[in-house]
Structure 1
Amino acid sequence: MRGQGANIGSSGSFRRQNIVDHDMEPELKVHSYDKNKASDPASIPELTDWLTSTATLQVPELEAKVKQFHYVECSDHQRLELLDWIRPLLSNTAYAVRATIADGKLPLPDHVLTHIDGLGRVYAIMADLYKGTIMSLASRVLQNAEDSQKSRKVLHEDLILACYGAIHFLAGQLRTIYEGYKPTPDGIWHEIHHIYNYSRFILDISCNSGINEEKIRDEFFLIEHIYKRSLLLGLCNPYHFPVVAFGELNRTLNKWAHLCKLERNIRSVEQRCMFSVDTESDYPAVPVLSHSGDLATSDRFSVLCTKALVNALKHEVDSMAHEAFEGPTKDVSEKDMHRLEMYRRLIMNWGKHPVRQDARHDREGRCEAVAGYSQIMKKMGGMLVTAIKKDPLNDQLCSTIIDASEMGYQVEMHTDSDTRFNIGDMIAIRDEKHLDQWSLAIVRWARYTTRKYIRAGTFIMGWQAERYRLQMELSSDQTIDVMSVSGTSNFPSGKKILLVPCGIYRPGRIMELIGGESHRIVARNLIMSGSDFDVIDYKLLN
């Protein structure tokens, strides 16, 4: 939803949603499943025995087995108990699937994509089981007003557990969708919003009924944490992260999501760190970009405030940078650099609401693409990253240009292309209109359009590049390949830019730049960090 913004009324306030609505019923969709494609029907004892004796399963087996739970004859309470047993098994299977991702280069191998898609279907089936239980239990909430307080307490506890299970597995399904770089299915965000609101409704009617709601309240806090985590995932531009980063991203969400707040009584608004959440929408939220409009009059809106979260991440980035670049060892691992770059991007997405400034224009044409710092160096050869002769495009490395701007290209490639890349990789592009010129870019995002085609967005770092040798230690003869870039306004003007392998940059580091002439230089700022390279600016010392 990048580029959309919420307009907040001049009063700057949001009324608390009145969810104690006696006409409120869950609006959820439960898919139907072909009974013939499930494993043979089983009894509760058989399923219980199977659950307690199975540690992990292949995804197709697990998918068929989970469908049994739609057909087993049991009460809602028994179904919830059975479903609770599945979570460790599903967690083990998910771990095994993600272990097959390896380097995560796109396009993903067919078997990896098949496993991720299958895992997503299992999460969807589990969510359906919980959603069906919610609807079954919900019909009894207001009908059985004369039930004993004990009966109503059990009913409310079962409902809140069903809400937790449903939102937990919808969140799991979302993660697999983003890991597979697929579009989100219609309705998933609407249901996530609705289940969260319905759980608030259950909490409120429990309070109003005089039920000791401690267990219900504890479960609601878990639901709210998953809801916040899901909103933050949807707002962080997940297609802009390499698939191997999703584990670290998930840990970051678990660790920090509690710092953001969902507000319904906002006195004043800011154009940073605030997102408008529309519970009737089918998207996570939109940034608050202005103070005009009249959203404040509707009960269906709330505001996600990320200020405390962004401030905590800024402090973490400062601490990591100080330890890496100014500490006694001044040594930073590639993993730490990637985490540092991820935090910087999260701060941007959750705090500053970046909006595209340049317009892309449709463009027909083909280009050749080579991805990866070391692969580009091998491909280019010589001193200049400029083709000496106009060789024809290599069909196995070809992509279709979808659109272009001064900032970069959007390209589409077949999944059997020899060009394989990670988000954050350097990519060299040779346009068929300029066969004698290679442009250097970074892969910003990717998403499948169909099973056989994937699109990628690139940010141009330079229309021209020159290759140099860099002597890192003045007392050593060892040198490495680096590149300088020019011909673009996408970096700060007046800066001397170098593209270097990861792990080279240290602020203030003095090195020797060797080309036609040799120059002693000092490294200044880290401008950008890719998956296997850094962009730095430097100053000449002689």
Structure 2
Amino acid sequence: MHLNLALPVPDPSLSHLAETRPKYLQTWLERLPVANLHESAQALLLSLAAQNRQAIADDSRQKLLELYRITVHTLTGAVKLQISDAALPLTEKQHQLATLARELLIELANGYKIVLQASSGRLLSFRGKPDQTQTMQRILSANSRLLTLCYEGYADVPTGLWSEIHQIYRYAVHQNVQDDIITDTPPASVSQLYRLCLLIATADPYRLTLGEVSKVLDLLRLYGDIAQTQPLTTPVQTNGLFLISPDKDQPPLPLFRYTGSTDPARDYLFNTLELARRLHQLFNLLKSGKSAAQLGLPGYADEATYQGLLQRLIRNWGHEPTRHFNRRGGSDDEAELCTGIRAIHGFLLAAHPTPDNTQQGTLDPDEISISTISALGRNHRTDTIATHWIVTNDSASGLALHKRNSTSVNLKVGEVVAVRSHQLPLWNIGVVRWLRNSPADQIEFGLQMLSPNPQPVWIRNAVGRIRTNQPALLLPANPILQLPQQLLVPRGVYVPDMPLELSAATNSSILPGKVLEHTHNFDLFEFQKIS
């Protein structure tokens, strides 16, 4: 099999930036000011990129790359921690760091690709096979980290990345080394790394909330080997099957969604159905009261939100999604957007003031309004404003919107927003379900609609963790859709079977009922009045 990898163009003029003596490179790497991520990443990128554009013996290049690899992994891991919980848009500093981290991983993979391309052209090599196995593992390791970094930042995957991921795996299969273990770095084989890339891509990563990509990766390290590639045959069902076209620069596509022609000689399937079944068993055990420790899971698996993540992964890997309403093309209609329960609550109160707003809105003086806090001080509040977006797609159940050069918005997957437009004249409550930050100056997101005409109310849990009055949104009942009235509250207010004090036009006590959604940002539940 002939390799056709994208390699950097040689540039001898950069030789003064490349340190090709392993001893001196090691000393330089150890002295990098890692506390200053930006400076260290920039210096490392210049040096590694310069080396990749010089003529160096393959053995020497491999030794130098092994030294670079550890530092690149350390720096990109530190950058990942800084941006993994950042809302969009990223600040200028965060954007620069994310870009540097991605370029570092690209250059690290480039170095190993140069070695692999050269060795693949030799007819005989007394060390060729072991060296090639490790080199392929290193390329896919860098590419899997790059893929994860893109998904965690809701950024587009670089052009050509998927094509090369498929190509490296196919070359390893051709050499029959795809399962050979490289013991120094888990995942330890080419096939394990390839499977990891496929699984994180099929987990619908742009719909994952902040921090969930890492949780999915932790889960895949335990159960990822259950998913397997298989030949392209005529399946009796399409649930849990994804089509891989290795000649195309794209991730696996759900088989039920694919309408083009296939090539049985080259295309193959990725089967995640058994993985979905295993996760369903795990979900049932957690739901029955088993602890994360008993199941060999990280401590955060005891949180209620983890069960929600498992349910979404089970749907992605085991069921065909059902769309209840077809989407229509964008009308370029402009929509107003207000983000966060507190901001929406303040906006609605300002639009429809009532005589007792001042009294009901008296909050603890140390309370911070996350959506409206000013950089000038803890207790200085700014006026809530609505931002303007362009509608690119709409249906009865949701919208897709985009905006360029936006610095006045703070978006996360799972965030509550209020939206209105010419087609939706009343304020409607929705939840951000997916995000894309591409190109870097544009944000695009998908919104699932919950209810129109929300009402601002105050809620209090006298014995809960948060005992002061908190802003909440009352979603009216919808007889047409047979939906009862619901309450949307900040996370931390709701406690199962614990009465709450609801203040609107009058005060009343309510008892929470069925929980409809429980996230890191909010709780949505049905309720009944008890007095």
Please report the TM-score for the alignment, with normalisation by the length of structure 2.
Answer: 0.80
Report which structure shows greater RCO (CA 8 Å, sep ≥6). 1
The answer to whether the aligner puts 1:446 opposite 2:430 as a matched pair is: no
For 2:527, the aligned partner's letter is: Y
Work out whether residues 137 and 182 of structure 2, in 8 Å CA contact, stay in contact via their aligned partners in 1: no
The CA distance in 2 between the partners of 1:292 and 1:367, in whole Å, is 34
Matched with 1:27 is 4
Matched with 2:363 is none
1:370 CA displacement? 1.6
Work out whether residues 232 and 264 of structure 2, in 8 Å CA contact, stay in contact via their aligned partners in 1: no
The CA distance in 2 between the partners of 1:292 and 1:111, in whole Å, is 42
Matched with 1:50 is 28
- 1:189-228 CA-to-partner distances (Å, cap 9, x unmatched) read 1111110111111226x99xxxxx7779x99962111111
The CA distance in 2 between the partners of 1:527 and 1:37, in whole Å, is 59
Matched with 2:275 is 309
Matched with 1:369 is 337
Q: What are the equivalent positions in structure 2 for 1:80-91 lying under 5 Å apart?
A: 80-91=62-73
Residue 413 of structure 2 is aligned with which of 406, 409, 423? 423
Once the two structures are overlaid, the 10-residue window that deviates more, 522-531 or 182-191, is 522-531
Residue 315 of structure 2 is aligned with which of 348, 369, 373? 348
Work out whether residues 345 and 473 of structure 2, in 8 Å CA contact, stay in contact via their aligned partners in 1: no
Summarize the Cα distance change of 1:481–1:290 in structure 2 as closer, same or farther, 3 Å threshold.
Answer: closer
The CA distance in 2 between the partners of 1:538 and 1:354, in whole Å, is 29
1:92 CA displacement? 1.7
- 1:479-508 CA-to-partner distances (Å, cap 9, x unmatched) read 543322247799x73433221222344554
Work out whether residues 200 and 220 of structure 1, in 8 Å CA contact, stay in contact via their aligned partners in 2: no
Once the two structures are overlaid, the 10-residue window that deviates more, 455-464 or 24-33, is 24-33
The CA distance in 2 between the partners of 1:294 and 1:98, in whole Å, is 39
For 2:213, the aligned partner's letter is: F
Q: What are the equivalent positions in structure 2 for 1:393-472 lying under 5 Å apart?
A: 397-431=387-421, 437-472=426-461
Gaps of 5+ in 1: 1-23, 208-212, 326-331, 387-392
Summarize the Cα distance change of 1:43–1:354 in structure 2 as closer, same or farther, 3 Å threshold.
Answer: same
The DSSP-based 3-state class of the residue aligned with 1:289 is helix
Summarize the Cα distance change of 1:415–1:249 in structure 2 as closer, same or farther, 3 Å threshold.
Answer: farther
For 1:96, the aligned partner's letter is: A
The answer to whether the aligner puts 1:527 opposite 2:522 as a matched pair is: no
Work out whether residues 385 and 467 of structure 1, in 8 Å CA contact, stay in contact via their aligned partners in 2: no
For 1:136, the aligned partner's letter is: A
Work out whether residues 104 and 244 of structure 1, in 8 Å CA contact, stay in contact via their aligned partners in 2: no
The DSSP-based 3-state class of the residue aligned with 1:363 is coil
Residue 176 of structure 1 is aligned with which of 131, 149, 153? 149
1:36 CA displacement? 4.5
Work out whether residues 11 and 54 of structure 2, in 8 Å CA contact, stay in contact via their aligned partners in 1: no
1:34 CA displacement? 4.9
1:395 CA displacement? 7.9
Work out whether residues 397 and 449 of structure 2, in 8 Å CA contact, stay in contact via their aligned partners in 1: yes
The CA distance in 1 between the partners of 2:353 and 2:276, in whole Å, is 40
Summarize the Cα distance change of 1:192–1:355 in structure 2 as closer, same or farther, 3 Å threshold.
Answer: farther
Summarize the Cα distance change of 1:320–1:384 in structure 2 as closer, same or farther, 3 Å threshold.
Answer: farther
Q: What are the equivalent positions in structure 2 for 1:216-365 lying under 5 Å apart?
A: 222-264=189-231, 269-289=236-256, 295=262, 298-323=264-289, 336-354=303-321, 356=323, 357-365=325-333
Summarize the Cα distance change of 1:401–1:266 in structure 2 as closer, same or farther, 3 Å threshold.
Answer: closer
Summarize the Cα distance change of 1:411–1:89 in structure 2 as closer, same or farther, 3 Å threshold.
Answer: same
Matched with 1:328 is none
The DSSP-based 3-state class of the residue aligned with 1:192 is helix
- 1:32-78 CA-to-partner distances (Å, cap 9, x unmatched) read 26554676233334334434555746221111011133245543233
Work out whether residues 226 and 274 of structure 2, in 8 Å CA contact, stay in contact via their aligned partners in 1: yes
The answer to whether the aligner puts 1:101 opposite 2:83 as a matched pair is: yes
- 1:443-499 CA-to-partner distances (Å, cap 9, x unmatched) read 112213433221121111111112334443589996543322247799x73433221
The DSSP-based 3-state class of the residue aligned with 2:83 is coil
Work out whether residues 472 and 489 of structure 2, in 8 Å CA contact, stay in contact via their aligned partners in 1: yes
The DSSP-based 3-state class of the residue aligned with 1:441 is strand
Summarize the Cα distance change of 1:60–1:189 in structure 2 as closer, same or farther, 3 Å threshold.
Answer: same
Matched with 1:60 is 42
The CA distance in 2 between the partners of 1:412 and 1:487, in whole Å, is 30
For 1:361, the aligned partner's letter is: G
Work out whether residues 464 and 486 of structure 1, in 8 Å CA contact, stay in contact via their aligned partners in 2: yes
Matched with 1:11 is none
Once the two structures are overlaid, the 10-residue window that deviates more, 464-473 or 81-90, is 464-473
Work out whether residues 385 and 464 of structure 1, in 8 Å CA contact, stay in contact via their aligned partners in 2: no
The CA distance in 1 between the partners of 2:269 and 2:63, in whole Å, is 35
Q: What are the equivalent positions in structure 2 for 1:111-260 lying under 5 Å apart?
A: 111-140=93-122, 143-144=123-124, 151=126, 154-203=127-176, 222-260=189-227
The CA distance in 2 between the partners of 1:117 and 1:270, in whole Å, is 41
For 2:332, the aligned partner's letter is: E
Work out whether residues 151 and 205 of structure 2, in 8 Å CA contact, stay in contact via their aligned partners in 1: yes
For 1:167, the aligned partner's letter is: L
1:412 CA displacement? 1.9
- 1:328-351 CA-to-partner distances (Å, cap 9, x unmatched) read xxxx98993443333222222222
Once the two structures are overlaid, the 10-residue window that deviates more, 469-478 or 74-83, is 469-478
RMSD (Å), alpha carbons = 3.8
The CA distance in 1 between the partners of 2:322 and 2:164, in whole Å, is 27
In the alignment of these two chains, the number of paired residues is 488
For 1:125, the aligned partner's letter is: E
Summarize the Cα distance change of 1:267–1:534 in structure 2 as closer, same or farther, 3 Å threshold.
Answer: same
Work out whether residues 429 and 440 of structure 1, in 8 Å CA contact, stay in contact via their aligned partners in 2: yes
Please report the TM-score for the alignment, with normalisation by the length of structure 1.
Answer: 0.78
Work out whether residues 333 and 503 of structure 1, in 8 Å CA contact, stay in contact via their aligned partners in 2: no
Matched with 2:370 is none
The CA distance in 2 between the partners of 1:79 and 1:30, in whole Å, is 14
The CA distance in 2 between the partners of 1:378 and 1:489, in whole Å, is 28
The CA distance in 2 between the partners of 1:470 and 1:427, in whole Å, is 19
The DSSP-based 3-state class of the residue aligned with 2:400 is strand
- 1:396-446 CA-to-partner distances (Å, cap 9, x unmatched) read 7222233322122222223343221211110112325666x3211111122
